[in-house]
Amino acid sequence: MKVISRLWVIPVVLVAWEVVGRLLEDPDFPPPTTIVVRMYELWFSGPIASVFLTEGAIDNLLPSLGRMFSGWILAAVIGISLGVLLGRSRSATDYVDPLIEFGRAIPPPLLVPLFVVLFQVELTTQLVTIVFGVVWPVLLNSIDGVRAVDRTYTETATVFNLTRLQRLRVVVLPAASPKIFAGLRLSLSLALILMVITELLGGSNGIGYQLLQAQRSFDGAGVWAAIALLGILGYVVNSLFVLAERRVLVWHRQATRNP
Protein backbone atom coordinates (compact mmCIF):
# COMPACT_ATOMS: atom_id res chain seq x y z
CA MET A 1 0.00 0.00 0.00
CA LYS A 2 2.86 2.38 0.78
CA VAL A 3 4.33 1.84 -2.68
CA ILE A 4 0.96 2.54 -4.32
CA SER A 5 0.48 5.69 -2.26
CA ARG A 6 3.88 6.94 -3.39
CA LEU A 7 3.37 6.15 -7.08
CA TRP A 8 0.03 7.91 -7.54
CA VAL A 9 1.80 11.16 -8.39
CA ILE A 10 3.35 9.64 -11.54
CA PRO A 11 0.09 9.11 -13.52
CA VAL A 12 -1.18 12.48 -12.31
CA VAL A 13 1.90 14.24 -13.67
CA LEU A 14 1.74 12.29 -16.94
CA VAL A 15 -1.94 13.12 -17.48
CA ALA A 16 -1.34 16.80 -16.73
CA TRP A 17 1.66 16.79 -19.07
CA GLU A 18 -0.41 15.14 -21.80
CA VAL A 19 -3.18 17.73 -21.50
CA VAL A 20 -0.82 20.70 -21.44
CA GLY A 21 1.27 19.32 -24.29
CA ARG A 22 -1.75 18.85 -26.53
CA LEU A 23 -3.10 22.30 -25.70
CA LEU A 24 0.19 24.05 -26.44
CA GLU A 25 0.96 22.04 -29.60
CA ASP A 26 4.60 23.02 -29.17
CA PRO A 27 7.03 20.67 -31.00
CA ASP A 28 9.63 21.36 -28.31
CA PHE A 29 7.22 20.27 -25.56
CA PRO A 30 5.46 17.17 -26.91
CA PRO A 31 2.99 15.14 -24.82
CA PRO A 32 4.16 11.83 -23.31
CA THR A 33 2.28 9.76 -25.91
CA THR A 34 4.23 11.45 -28.71
CA ILE A 35 7.49 10.79 -26.86
CA VAL A 36 6.63 7.11 -26.42
CA VAL A 37 5.79 6.77 -30.12
CA ARG A 38 9.11 8.41 -31.02
CA MET A 39 10.99 6.05 -28.69
CA TYR A 40 9.28 3.13 -30.40
CA GLU A 41 10.18 4.44 -33.85
CA LEU A 42 13.82 5.12 -32.96
CA TRP A 43 14.74 2.02 -30.99
CA PHE A 44 12.06 -0.65 -30.55
CA SER A 45 10.29 -1.13 -33.88
CA GLY A 46 12.80 -3.57 -35.32
CA PRO A 47 12.25 -7.15 -36.51
CA ILE A 48 11.73 -10.09 -34.18
CA ALA A 49 15.09 -11.52 -35.22
CA SER A 50 16.85 -8.58 -33.55
CA VAL A 51 14.60 -8.66 -30.44
CA PHE A 52 12.58 -5.72 -31.84
CA LEU A 53 15.66 -3.48 -31.73
CA THR A 54 16.00 -1.11 -34.66
CA GLU A 55 19.24 -0.44 -36.50
CA GLY A 56 19.47 2.81 -34.54
CA ALA A 57 19.28 0.91 -31.25
CA ILE A 58 21.96 -1.55 -32.31
CA ASP A 59 24.23 1.25 -33.56
CA ASN A 60 23.68 3.59 -30.60
CA LEU A 61 21.99 2.02 -27.58
CA LEU A 62 24.19 -1.07 -27.34
CA PRO A 63 27.50 0.82 -27.74
CA SER A 64 26.41 3.24 -25.01
CA LEU A 65 25.68 0.39 -22.62
CA GLY A 66 28.98 -1.25 -23.52
CA ARG A 67 30.95 1.91 -22.77
CA MET A 68 29.10 2.57 -19.53
CA PHE A 69 29.52 -0.92 -18.08
CA SER A 70 33.09 -1.33 -19.35
CA GLY A 71 34.15 1.95 -17.75
CA TRP A 72 32.32 1.12 -14.54
CA ILE A 73 33.84 -2.36 -14.27
CA LEU A 74 37.35 -1.05 -14.91
CA ALA A 75 36.86 1.67 -12.31
CA ALA A 76 35.50 -0.88 -9.84
CA VAL A 77 38.52 -3.15 -10.26
CA ILE A 78 40.98 -0.26 -9.96
CA GLY A 79 39.15 1.43 -7.09
CA ILE A 80 38.64 -1.68 -4.98
CA SER A 81 42.20 -2.93 -5.54
CA LEU A 82 43.85 0.38 -4.66
CA GLY A 83 41.34 1.03 -1.89
CA VAL A 84 42.12 -2.24 -0.15
CA LEU A 85 45.87 -1.64 -0.43
CA LEU A 86 45.66 1.93 0.85
CA GLY A 87 43.13 1.05 3.52
CA ARG A 88 45.52 -1.52 4.95
CA SER A 89 48.38 0.99 5.09
CA ARG A 90 47.66 4.35 6.72
CA SER A 91 51.15 5.66 5.91
CA ALA A 92 50.64 4.93 2.20
CA THR A 93 47.30 6.72 2.32
CA ASP A 94 48.92 9.77 3.89
CA TYR A 95 51.40 9.93 1.01
CA VAL A 96 48.85 9.69 -1.81
CA ASP A 97 45.97 11.56 -0.15
CA PRO A 98 46.93 14.92 -1.73
CA LEU A 99 46.92 13.27 -5.16
CA ILE A 100 43.52 11.70 -4.49
CA GLU A 101 42.03 15.00 -3.36
CA PHE A 102 43.52 16.78 -6.39
CA GLY A 103 42.29 14.16 -8.84
CA ARG A 104 38.74 13.93 -7.53
CA ALA A 105 38.39 17.73 -7.65
CA ILE A 106 38.92 17.82 -11.43
CA PRO A 107 35.65 17.65 -13.43
CA PRO A 108 36.12 14.72 -15.85
CA PRO A 109 34.58 16.53 -18.88
CA LEU A 110 37.38 19.11 -18.69
CA LEU A 111 39.90 16.36 -19.40
CA VAL A 112 38.23 15.17 -22.61
CA PRO A 113 40.37 17.45 -24.86
CA LEU A 114 43.52 16.21 -23.11
CA PHE A 115 42.47 12.58 -23.46
CA VAL A 116 41.69 13.14 -27.15
CA VAL A 117 45.25 14.39 -27.70
CA LEU A 118 46.78 11.58 -25.64
CA PHE A 119 44.81 8.60 -26.95
CA GLN A 120 43.40 9.82 -30.31
CA VAL A 121 40.92 6.93 -30.33
CA GLU A 122 37.29 7.76 -29.63
CA LEU A 123 36.45 4.64 -27.64
CA THR A 124 39.63 4.84 -25.54
CA THR A 125 39.01 8.52 -24.80
CA GLN A 126 35.45 7.85 -23.69
CA LEU A 127 36.44 4.88 -21.52
CA VAL A 128 39.29 6.75 -19.84
CA THR A 129 36.98 9.70 -19.11
CA ILE A 130 34.37 7.42 -17.56
CA VAL A 131 36.95 5.51 -15.52
CA PHE A 132 38.57 8.71 -14.27
CA GLY A 133 35.28 10.17 -13.09
CA VAL A 134 33.85 6.96 -11.68
CA VAL A 135 36.84 5.55 -9.78
CA TRP A 136 36.84 8.04 -6.90
CA PRO A 137 33.69 6.96 -5.02
CA VAL A 138 34.80 3.33 -5.26
CA LEU A 139 38.34 4.13 -4.13
CA LEU A 140 37.35 6.32 -1.18
CA ASN A 141 34.61 3.99 0.04
CA SER A 142 36.95 1.01 -0.24
CA ILE A 143 39.57 2.81 1.85
CA ASP A 144 36.99 3.77 4.48
CA GLY A 145 35.50 0.28 4.49
CA VAL A 146 38.84 -1.44 5.02
CA ARG A 147 39.84 1.02 7.74
CA ALA A 148 36.54 0.47 9.53
CA VAL A 149 37.03 -3.30 9.89
CA ASP A 150 36.59 -4.21 13.55
CA ARG A 151 39.93 -4.96 15.17
CA THR A 152 38.33 -7.98 16.85
CA TYR A 153 37.97 -9.60 13.43
CA THR A 154 41.62 -9.07 12.53
CA GLU A 155 42.78 -10.28 15.94
CA THR A 156 40.67 -13.41 15.53
CA ALA A 157 42.26 -13.98 12.12
CA THR A 158 45.68 -13.70 13.76
CA VAL A 159 44.73 -16.27 16.39
CA PHE A 160 43.75 -18.72 13.65
CA ASN A 161 47.02 -18.03 11.77
CA LEU A 162 45.28 -16.96 8.58
CA THR A 163 47.54 -15.85 5.74
CA ARG A 164 47.26 -12.34 4.32
CA LEU A 165 45.27 -13.60 1.36
CA GLN A 166 42.93 -15.53 3.65
CA ARG A 167 42.45 -12.48 5.88
CA LEU A 168 41.63 -10.40 2.84
CA ARG A 169 39.14 -12.93 1.47
CA VAL A 170 37.52 -14.07 4.72
CA VAL A 171 37.72 -11.00 6.96
CA VAL A 172 38.56 -7.70 5.25
CA LEU A 173 36.46 -7.81 2.06
CA PRO A 174 33.27 -9.13 3.70
CA ALA A 175 33.51 -6.56 6.51
CA ALA A 176 34.21 -3.71 4.09
CA SER A 177 31.65 -4.80 1.48
CA PRO A 178 28.74 -2.57 2.67
CA LYS A 179 30.79 0.58 2.10
CA ILE A 180 32.29 -0.79 -1.10
CA PHE A 181 28.82 -1.48 -2.49
CA ALA A 182 27.75 2.06 -1.56
CA GLY A 183 30.63 3.39 -3.64
CA LEU A 184 29.80 1.07 -6.52
CA ARG A 185 26.18 2.21 -6.54
CA LEU A 186 27.14 5.89 -6.67
CA SER A 187 29.75 5.23 -9.34
CA LEU A 188 27.20 3.43 -11.52
CA SER A 189 25.06 6.57 -11.68
CA LEU A 190 28.14 8.64 -12.49
CA ALA A 191 29.07 6.20 -15.26
CA LEU A 192 25.72 6.82 -16.96
CA ILE A 193 26.16 10.59 -16.71
CA LEU A 194 29.72 10.54 -18.04
CA MET A 195 28.72 8.17 -20.84
CA VAL A 196 26.24 10.76 -22.10
CA ILE A 197 28.68 13.66 -21.66
CA THR A 198 31.46 11.95 -23.63
CA GLU A 199 29.03 11.14 -26.44
CA LEU A 200 27.79 14.73 -26.52
CA LEU A 201 31.30 16.17 -26.60
CA GLY A 202 32.90 13.99 -29.24
CA GLY A 203 31.04 10.80 -30.02
CA SER A 204 30.05 9.35 -33.38
CA ASN A 205 27.37 7.07 -31.92
CA GLY A 206 25.50 6.45 -28.68
CA ILE A 207 22.41 7.82 -26.95
CA GLY A 208 24.09 11.15 -26.25
CA TYR A 209 25.09 11.43 -29.90
CA GLN A 210 21.52 10.70 -30.99
CA LEU A 211 20.23 13.32 -28.56
CA LEU A 212 22.60 15.90 -30.05
CA GLN A 213 21.60 15.00 -33.61
CA ALA A 214 17.91 15.27 -32.70
CA GLN A 215 18.54 18.72 -31.24
CA ARG A 216 20.43 19.84 -34.35
CA SER A 217 17.63 18.61 -36.62
CA PHE A 218 14.96 20.31 -34.48
CA ASP A 219 13.43 16.95 -33.55
CA GLY A 220 11.90 17.90 -30.21
CA ALA A 221 10.23 14.53 -29.72
CA GLY A 222 13.55 12.81 -30.45
CA VAL A 223 15.31 14.90 -27.80
CA TRP A 224 12.67 14.05 -25.22
CA ALA A 225 12.76 10.39 -26.28
CA ALA A 226 16.51 10.23 -25.63
CA ILE A 227 16.08 11.93 -22.25
CA ALA A 228 13.26 9.54 -21.31
CA LEU A 229 15.33 6.54 -22.40
CA LEU A 230 18.25 7.69 -20.25
CA GLY A 231 15.95 8.15 -17.27
CA ILE A 232 14.45 4.69 -17.69
CA LEU A 233 17.89 3.19 -18.20
CA GLY A 234 19.19 4.82 -15.02
CA TYR A 235 16.21 3.63 -13.01
CA VAL A 236 16.43 0.04 -14.29
CA VAL A 237 20.20 -0.23 -13.78
CA ASN A 238 19.99 1.22 -10.27
CA SER A 239 17.10 -1.07 -9.33
CA LEU A 240 18.95 -4.16 -10.57
CA PHE A 241 22.06 -3.14 -8.65
CA VAL A 242 20.07 -2.59 -5.44
CA LEU A 243 18.49 -6.02 -5.88
CA ALA A 244 21.91 -7.63 -6.32
CA GLU A 245 23.29 -5.67 -3.36
CA ARG A 246 20.49 -6.88 -1.11
CA ARG A 247 21.14 -10.48 -2.07
CA VAL A 248 24.88 -10.23 -1.57
CA LEU A 249 24.65 -8.31 1.72
CA VAL A 250 21.74 -10.23 3.22
CA TRP A 251 24.05 -11.38 6.02
CA HIS A 252 24.83 -7.75 6.90
CA ARG A 253 21.17 -6.80 7.27
CA GLN A 254 20.55 -9.84 9.47
CA ALA A 255 23.56 -8.99 11.63
CA THR A 256 22.46 -5.38 12.12
CA ARG A 257 18.91 -6.45 13.01
CA ASN A 258 20.11 -9.04 15.50
CA PRO A 259 23.22 -7.62 17.19
Q: What is the per-residue pLDDT across 79-136, written as a single tens digit (0 to 9) for each?
A: 999 999 999 888 888 899 999 999 999 999 989 888 888 887 888 899 999 999 999 9
**CATH label, 32-257, candidates 2.30.30.40, 2.40.50.100, 3.40.50.300, 1.10.3720.10:** 1.10.3720.10
Distance (Å, rounded) from C-alpha 52 to C-alpha 43? 8
Identify the sign of the CA torsion 250, 256, 257, 259: positive
| Per-residue confidence (pLDDT) for residue 29, from 0 to 100 | 94
Given a cut of 70, whether residue 156 has pLDDT beyond it is yes
- Distance, in Å, from the CA atom of 214 to the CA atom of 32, rounded to the nearest integer, reads 17
Give the amino acid at 118.
Answer: L
The CA distances from residue 199 to 21, 61, 63, 69, 194, in Å, are: 29, 12, 11, 15, 8
Rounded percentage of the chain residues whose pLDDT exceeds 70: 95
What does the pLDDT read at residue 223?
Answer: 97
Given a contact cutoff of 8 angstroms between Cβ atoms, the answer to whether 108 and 129 are in contact is yes
pLDDT tens digits, one per residue of 178-195: 999 999 999 999 999 999
